[in-house]
A and B are shown apart, each in its own frame.
Chain A
Amino acid sequence: MNALLSRLFQFGAIYTCFVGLLWLAKYGMGFSDYLIPSPTEFLHAIREDGPNYVIYSLNTLGVAVYGHIIAILLASLIAVIGSLKSTVGAVTRVAAYNLQAYPIVAVSPIIFIFLGDGLASRLLIASLICYFPLLLSLLGIFSQPVEDVEHFFVQTGSINHRLRLTIRLFENLDKLLTVLTGSATLAMVGTIVAEFLAATAGIGHAIRIALYQDNLARILLALLLIGICSSFYLAVIEILGRTFSRALQKG
C-alpha cells in the first residue's frame, strides 16, 4: 500500500508541476484557451469526459498488462535460446537485435494487415515495444557467470545449462525486478502507441481524437489518467516482486 501511495504521490507532484508550469506560461504570456486550456476548461473536461476516459484508461491498462506478460515470456524464451553458445543462439541474438532496429510505426502497417486493428495488434505492438529492455537484461543476466555458486556445481560435475540459468536468475533477482518494473512503463507506452496508430479503443485512441479536435484539455486529462494507471501498475509489480523475493528467501 505504501508503494502505491508513494508512486501516486511522485506522479502527482510531477504532474502538478507540469500543469502548473503550463498555466504559468499561459497566463504569463497571454495564450488563449485554444493553445493552453484554462483550469476551468480542464475541470470541465474532467467532468464531461472523465468517466469515459477512466474506462478507456482501464482498457489500456488491461491490454498493457497482457502485453507485458507476453513480452516477459517472449524475452525469456529468446534470452534462453540466445544464451546458447551454438549457431541457433547466435542467430537468435542477431535476429532479436535486428528486429528492434525497426521503428514500430514502420512495422505497424504490416501488423495491421494481418491482425487487423483489434486487440491482437495492440497486444503485439505493446509486447514488441517493451520486450527489448527485458531481453537485454535477461541476456546480460544469463551470460554473466556467478562464479562463487557455479564453481561448486562445476567441481561436482552436476552443472548443466538449465541449472546455470537458474543460478544466474536467482542471484540477479533484484536487478530483474527493477527491469520488470521499468518495462511495465514501456508496456503502457507501447499499448498507447498501438491505440494511437490504429485501434478503436483505449486511451491512445482517445488522444488521437483529441489531437484531431485540438483539445489539449482532454489530452491533459488523458495524461493524468495514464500516470495514475502506470503508478498503480508499477506499485503492484513492486509489491508482487517484494513478496516473491521474501518468499524465496524464507524458502
Chain B
Amino acid sequence: MANLVLLTGCSPGGKKTEGPRTRAEPVVLRLKWLVNVSAAGEIWALKTGIFENQGLKVEIKEGGLEHNAIKDLELGRVQFGVASADQVIRAVEKGAQIVVLAQIFQKNPLKWIYDGSRFHIQLPEDLKGLTVGITYGGNDEAIFRALMAKYGLSKENVRFYAVRQDYTPFWNGDAQLWPVYSNVEGIVLAKKMKEHGRMPMFFDADAFGIHLVANSLITSRRIYDEQPELAQRFTQAVLKGWKQALDAKNERAAADAVHEFDGSVSVELIREQLAATRELVVSGALPIGTIDKAAWRDSEDIMFRQGLIARHVDIAAILK
C-alpha cells in the first residue's frame, strides 16, 4: 500500500512554484482505488506544491475493496476521500454523514471493451445474444442492469460472465464484452488487442442515458461544518491540480509525476491514459469539478430501482 507524502513544494522539474505558507496543516486523502492516472490531479497538486501553497501537508493513501474513504472519514482517519456515487448514496442511506465537494469525473470511465472486428454495437439491442462480463456486486453490475431495464433486455437476451482479476475469459472469448476503466486498463487492453490484430471498441452505457457518477471528492459533514475553510482550500487545490495536470503543456510532466508513483506503467502509456482521462474530466465549458446534480439523481434512482438502497436519499443535501 503506497502512501504518498508531500515532502517538498517542488515541481517535477525541481523548481519551486510559489512560497509555501509557514505552517502546513496535515491532511490525509484516501483514494477510491490504487494510485494511477485517475488520481493525476491529486498527484500533480502534491508534486507541484499546490497543496503546500494552500497550507496543506497532504498524504495520499490508496483505496480498495477493504480501504474505503467513507469508512475512514467516519473513523476520523482521513479528512478527505474519493468515492463514487453508489458508495456515497449507499453510505448516506445508512446514516453516514458525508458531503460531496466536487465531481472529478463528469463521465463515468467504466465501459465495456469488445472486439469491433467481430461485431459492432450501435444500440443496446445489439447486445442480444452476447456474453457480458459483470462484477457481481460492483457498480458495473448496477449500470448494466439499469441499461437492461431501460431497453427491455432480459436474462434470456444477454448472458453474464462473472468478472475476476484477470482478462483470460475475455481473451479466450468466454465473454465478448469486458468491463474496464476506459482511461486506465482500457488503454492497456486496447493496445494489446491491436497488437493481436483485433479492433478494440468500447460500449458506453452513459451514452445511452445510464448515468452513474464516478470519482467525486468527499469529506465528512463534521469537517465541512466545523472547518469550511479547510474543505474549501483542499477542494481548490485538488481542482487546480486537475486543471494543470490535464493542460496539454503539462502533459509530459504530469505523466512523469504519475509514473513516479505508478512505475509499472510507462510514461508513454500514461500520456495516452491522461488524454483519455481529459475527456472524462473536462466537459465543455463547465469548470472542472462541477457537480452534475441530474446525474446524481439518476444514480440514486438506479440504486433505488435495483433495491441497492431501501429508501430514497436526499441528494440535494449531500451535494455542495
> Please, which residue of chain A has its CB at the minimum distance from the CB of B307?
A48
CB distance from A138 to the nearest CB of B (A): 33
Q: Is the CB of B164 within 8 A of A35?
A: no
Main secondary structure on chain B at its contact with chain A? loop
C-alpha spacing A50/B306, complex, angstroms:
19
> Please, which residue of chain A has its CB at the minimum distance from the CB of B97?
A32
> Please, which residue of chain B has its CB at the minimum distance from the CB of A35?
B74
Given contacts A113-B168, A197-B164, A198-B164, is CB(A208)–CB(B137) below 8 Å?
yes
Chain A contacts with B in 176-213, Cβ cutoff 8 A: 197-200, 205, 208-213
Q: Is the CB of A112 within 8 A of B168?
A: yes
Q: Is the CB of A34 within 8 A of B137?
A: no
* Number of chain A residues whose Cβ lies closer than 8 Å to a Cβ of chain B: 23
Contacts of B71 in A (CB 8 A): 34-35, 214
Given contacts A32-B97, A35-B96, A213-B308, is CB(A117)–CB(B164) below 8 Å?
yes
A33 beta carbon closer than 8 Å to chain B: yes
A31 beta carbon closer than 8 Å to chain B: yes
Q: Is the CB of B162 within 8 A of A212?
A: no
B136 beta carbon closer than 8 Å to chain A: yes
Q: Is the CB of B166 within 8 A of A112?
A: yes
Contacts of B95 in A (CB 8 A): 32-34
> Please, which residue of chain B has its CB at the minimum distance from the CB of A209?
B137
A109 beta carbon closer than 8 Å to chain B: yes
C-alpha spacing A214/B98, complex, angstroms:
15
**Cβ contact of A34, chosen from B65, B90, B165, cutoff 8 A:** B90
Contacts of A208 in B (CB 8 A): 136-137
B94 beta carbon closer than 8 Å to chain A: yes
Chain B contacts with A in 48-78, Cβ cutoff 8 A: 65-66, 68, 70-71, 74-75
Q: Is the CB of B137 within 8 A of A212?
A: yes
Q: Is the CB of A32 within 8 A of B74?
A: yes
Task: Count CB-based A-B contacts (< 8 Å).
Answer: 64
Q: Is the CB of B91 within 8 A of A112?
A: no
Q: How large is the interface on B (under 10, 10 to 19, 20 to 34, 35 or more residues)?
A: 20 to 34
Q: Is the CB of B65 within 8 A of A211?
A: yes
**Cβ contact of A214, chosen from B91, B135, B136, B162, cutoff 8 A:** B91
CB distance from A202 to the nearest CB of B (A): 12
Contacts of B96 in A (CB 8 A): 32, 34-35
> Please, which residue of chain A has its CB at the minimum distance from the CB of B142?
A213
> Please, which residue of chain A has its CB at the minimum distance from the CB of B70?
A34
Among B66, B90, B94, B96, the one with the most A-chain Cβ atoms within 10 Å of its Cβ is B94
B87 beta carbon closer than 8 Å to chain A: yes
Contacts of A35 in B (CB 8 A): 71, 74-75, 96
Contacts of A37 in B (CB 8 A): 94
Q: Is the CB of A34 within 8 A of B135?
A: no
Contacts of B65 in A (CB 8 A): 211-212
**Cβ contact of B136, chosen from A33, A113, A197, A200, cutoff 8 A:** A200
**Cβ contact of A112, chosen from B70, B135, B164, cutoff 8 A:** B164
Given contacts A34-B74, A214-B87, is CB(A109)–CB(B136) below 8 Å?
no
Q: Which positions in B face A, CB cutoff 8 Å?
A: 65-66, 68, 70-71, 74-75, 87, 90-91, 93-97, 135-138, 162, 164-166, 168, 308
Q: Which positions in A face B, CB cutoff 8 Å?
A: 31-35, 37, 41, 109, 112-113, 117, 197-200, 205, 208-214
